[in-house]
Amino acid sequence: MTTACPHLALSHPVTPSASGCEECLRSGDEWVHLRLCLCCGHVGCCDDSPNRHATRHFLATEHPVIQSFEPGESWRWCYIDKLFIP
């Protein structure tokens, strides 16, 4: 049984900031998977990517909930609670 994440209340419909990782697109780097910040729409690369921009975005902003930005995936993750949200 999954416990509800209280940080989901900070999430809302967002417009993705880019079609790929914002920072990697600027620097010419590559990513593995993409994550969407559900507080502001920032698109960053996952922790399997060399630059880990989604996590860096959380550390800089404290925006707690991301969603997979991969086609066909809709799972979410709360950085604060370290909770997978299907």
| 1 in a structural domain | no
| 2 in a structural domain | no
| 26 in a structural domain | yes
Confidence (pTM): 0.94
| 70 in a structural domain | yes
Handedness of CA 39, 54, 48, 2 (dihedral sign): negative
DSSP 83: E
Whose CA is closest to 29, among 48, 45, 47? Answer: 45
| 58 in a structural domain | yes
Q: What is the mean pLDDT of the chain?
A: 95
Which residues are registered as beta bridge partners of 78? 65, 83
Give the model confidence (pLDDT) of 33-74 as tens digits. 999 999 999 999 999 999 999 999 999 999 999 999 999 999
Domain span holding position 13: 7-85
User: Would you mind telling me the total number of residues written for the chain in this entry?
Assistant: 86
Q: What is the CATH number of the domain that holds 73?
A: 3.30.40.10
